[in-house]
Chains A and B, each alone.
Chain A
């Protein structure tokens, strides 16, 4: 029952979201009453030091975890009340993930990794094109162990893109790459998601990378301390 036009629905709405973990006997507040509204179709960068709650925020948005308290809506859908089957369906249809360590299936080739997910959502015919779009058509038959880190991350991006999700979540996507490769990968991500009009939430602890975002969300100690418009610069313009 989506009465509001899709483009007008915020990508993410967090209302007083808390996330608590039990670490032994100690309760850790990973998120403490986060309130946030992110418009759709933007490149959002979440920055903050270690332990600020940015990855927790990403995990909640991706349906990998559920808030302890508060309300979380992604494209108008309330995640709090979803059961495991609904969360799986949500992840399958709405979300694409790009991990720091790529997380490719080691026994499948680059193309097969993309096709695996493409087949899951019925987009098998897009797999080869998507891999080509990330510039890896020539290594389609290579296993992950035969690819460089940058190439592996590009496959991971292709795998995320092929589902054509509305929300793409990237957790330190350049964390395992050297600066140059990292920028190349970010360039690809930046370009391809914009081309497809996807909402991107990218987590980084690197403040320079925050310049990429249309919106920059700063977190500290589990709280949002600032939501500001970003510079939206192209990764190629970044200097370290």
Chain B
């Protein structure tokens, strides 16, 4: 004969499992809502972190096969033999010198006839560092051949076999395109670290034969860049040595791989995915955990008699504990499975879309088992943690007490008594919802967590959109009061300005001069572009941190706020302004006083007085400085003006505000999709929390509400009492959620702050209004659903329901 314990193992435990499934089925709607929350949390984690891993994997693969440089130094010009010296630096595995110059690509008949071109000289055999991935055609084999960066080629419709016309300091060359390539240096195609927005259509990188390049640029055997591969972990050490080596040759910039301009911008985006992959899942899983805790607490309360009976029948407290923990785990598991599948799909979708925008030649989309495992683990931990307290409560019940029903704790009673006193000011009917809020702490916490989380996501998402749009609007409308930005080939062409100003439909012209400089103080130094503008000009409205439009005077400089903060400068402080490529032999510098601090979200430009900047810096370093002007004209005349300017030999480059706007809009399209997804998740979170609370509230009060109806309250009046509680909770949630969202938005936007970007966390009034409306709509929907159920409630049955 089997012992009782053996029998219980044989028969009773399977019966408990059946009870487990039956309980889950009985609470199907709630269980499904919980599973959705778990699925969303897990899905978002796996999706966003997976996307981050996919992108990182894709980039790393490209970096690896192209031998992306670990340390690079860019300078004015140095003998090619410097590379041999670089090779002798300890931990340098390989070094390569290149000559690289910026000029313009002239493309008659295309939408933009003159755009910024970067000409990179490469050896005939594949370079050992910063190699290319040829996506179409072949590599260079002759002097007249070129390989074109493929994103620019696609934007401007260049094909293999086409001829591309390039101009460097008015010296033009024609190259036959033999290949289209992806370069590790231009996955995110920006010309320098000072540029934030991708310039696919207006920035083209042309890889040409290095001998041809030297001849064309007139640099002889001199080089302008050295790139090194280093032993792992020695990048910075090598970079310092490289900087020392190039010091005499006017270092323009230097960086380790992670700080390379393109990679740095990619990392910002990756960082966004990584941050969100933790932040949003935490909100969802916390909400799921609280919901589970609340639902299981309710099950335990409902089954208190059954628990007592089971205990009386001989089930151990451990078996009861396991039973209810299993309930939590089951819901988590059932939510995790679709969450993992959806998350994987999201990771592939997000990475593929993002990769398609960058036209990545390789895309890693394989499942990341580590992330999937962590996703599953997170779901199970959520279930376990949420189920533990209710399960422990069930397991600790004394059989006799349990069979008698629920017993209120003395502490709880004391609290309720206090609550009765506090809420006496409300009318009797309103005391029910007000006290109901404190009746079940878990329910209230769940509602608050859900609404706070949802409101935060909604505010952060709208805030992200509003802040970005604010920065863009400031750039396009607030700052730019001109339509065309023109760069001339020489200072002599400045005289063209008068001719431009005299053209029909031209409203105004103001000259500009730009020099890349390093601003130095006792605290350190920072690199910016110093732009000289005329005193009293009206075409560039740059705002200071105090809100007024800046004006320039000789001997002073306006410094962007990010740099001012780093250099600890204040108005009136003296600073050294030095041409960025200054070397021991050729140092060009001046001392200026800080006129003030500018507050510009996008771009890091210092401003000085036009003639002052010319005299003290620009003229001395030409052609490393650029001269140009800003043109205001009738909008309808912009294309005609642009074409006219682009055809002039004195014009190096023309950029229109419309072009910038178009580029920004193209980039924003992806962001709007992203915002839409986040907004949906925010609404889902808030909606599911509100709906769960409304459902639990209704279920827990079936008898109470039915009694009210029996006593003569209408279905609407009874539902209204439940709705008031929901409204109060929503109000409380919004009161906490909105400041939390504001803080989160500020924190989130500040994570994008770099030397070139400083987003103001903008939250216009409509963000608050929309958040309140969304939450109110969710409350109204849930209340309507509650009222519908109350109307169809079987009063006779419901008055006998167990609370």
- The yes or no verdict on A and B being binding partners is yes
Q: Which residues of A contact B (CB under 8 A)?
A: 55-56, 59, 62, 64-65, 84-85, 88-89, 91-93, 97, 99-101, 103, 105-109, 112, 115-117, 119-121, 141, 143, 145-146, 159, 163
Chain A residue at minimal CB-CB distance from B707: A103
Q: Does B672 contact A (CB under 8 A)?
A: no
Name A99's contact: one of B707, B709, B712, B714 (CB within 8 Å): B707
Tell me which residues across on chain B come within 8 A of A112, comparing CB atoms: 428, 431
Q: Does B408 contact A (CB under 8 A)?
A: yes
CA distance A120 to B707 in the complex (A): 14
CA distance A62 to B704 in the complex (A): 17
Interface centre among B427, B704, B712, B800 (most CB of A within 10 A): B712
The answer to whether B431 touches A103, judged by C-beta atoms less than 8 angstroms apart, is no
CA distance A55 to B797 in the complex (A): 11
Tell me which residues across on chain A come within 8 A of B26, comparing CB atoms: none
The answer to whether B428 touches A119, judged by C-beta atoms less than 8 angstroms apart, is yes
The answer to whether B428 touches A99, judged by C-beta atoms less than 8 angstroms apart, is no
Tell me which residues across on chain A come within 8 A of B408, comparing CB atoms: 145
Q: How many residues of B contact A (CB 8 A)?
A: 30
The answer to whether A106 touches B413, judged by C-beta atoms less than 8 angstroms apart, is no
Tell me which residues across on chain B come within 8 A of A65, comparing CB atoms: 795-796
Tell me which residues across on chain A come within 8 A of B800, comparing CB atoms: 99-101
Tell me which residues across on chain B come within 8 A of A99, comparing CB atoms: 707, 799-800
CA distance A99 to B711 in the complex (A): 11
Tell me which residues across on chain A come within 8 A of B803, comparing CB atoms: 106
CA distance A121 to B709 in the complex (A): 14
CA distance A88 to B717 in the complex (A): 11
- Nearest-Cβ distance from residue B645 to partner chain A, whole angstroms: 77
Name B713's contact: one of A59, A64, A88, A103 (CB within 8 Å): A88
Name A117's contact: one of B436, B709, B712, B791 (CB within 8 Å): B712
Name B710's contact: one of A97, A100, A115 (CB within 8 Å): A97
The answer to whether B420 touches A59, judged by C-beta atoms less than 8 angstroms apart, is no
Q: What are 19 sample pairs from A and B whose C-beta atoms fall under 8 A apart?
A: A84-B715, A84-B791, A88-B709, A89-B712, A91-B710, A97-B799, A99-B707, A107-B416, A107-B432, A107-B439, A108-B428, A108-B432, A115-B428, A116-B428, A117-B711, A119-B428, A120-B712, A141-B420, A145-B413
Nearest 8 Cβ contacts at the A-B interface: A92-B712, A107-B435, A103-B707, A59-B796, A64-B795, A145-B408, A64-B796, A91-B712
Tell me which residues across on chain B come within 8 A of A88, comparing CB atoms: 709, 712-715
- Nearest-Cβ distance from residue A129 to partner chain B, whole angstroms: 16
The answer to whether A143 touches B416, judged by C-beta atoms less than 8 angstroms apart, is yes
Tell me which residues across on chain A come within 8 A of B435, comparing CB atoms: 107-108
CA distance A107 to B712 in the complex (A): 19
Within 8 A of A (CB), among B785-803: 791, 795-796, 799-800, 803
Interface centre among B420, B432, B707, B800 (most CB of A within 10 A): B707
A120-B711 in contact given A108-B431, A143-B413 (Cβ < 8 Å): yes
CA distance A84 to B795 in the complex (A): 12
Q: Does B769 contact A (CB under 8 A)?
A: no
The answer to whether B713 touches A120, judged by C-beta atoms less than 8 angstroms apart, is yes
The answer to whether A103 touches B420, judged by C-beta atoms less than 8 angstroms apart, is no
CA distance A84 to B791 in the complex (A): 9
Q: Does B767 contact A (CB under 8 A)?
A: no
CA distance A101 to B803 in the complex (A): 10
Tell me which residues across on chain B come within 8 A of A106, comparing CB atoms: 439, 704, 803
Interface centre among A59, A100, A107 (most CB of B within 10 A): A107
* 0 or 1 for each of B708-736: is its CB under 8 Å from A? (1 = yes): 11111111000000000000000000000
Q: Does B1 contact A (CB under 8 A)?
A: no
The answer to whether A107 touches B436, judged by C-beta atoms less than 8 angstroms apart, is yes
The answer to whether B417 touches A143, judged by C-beta atoms less than 8 angstroms apart, is yes
Q: Does B561 contact A (CB under 8 A)?
A: no
Tell me which residues across on chain B come within 8 A of A163, comparing CB atoms: 711-712
- Nearest-Cβ distance from residue B421 to partner chain A, whole angstroms: 9
Q: Does B703 contact A (CB under 8 A)?
A: yes
Tell me which residues across on chain A come within 8 A of B428, comparing CB atoms: 108, 112, 115-116, 119
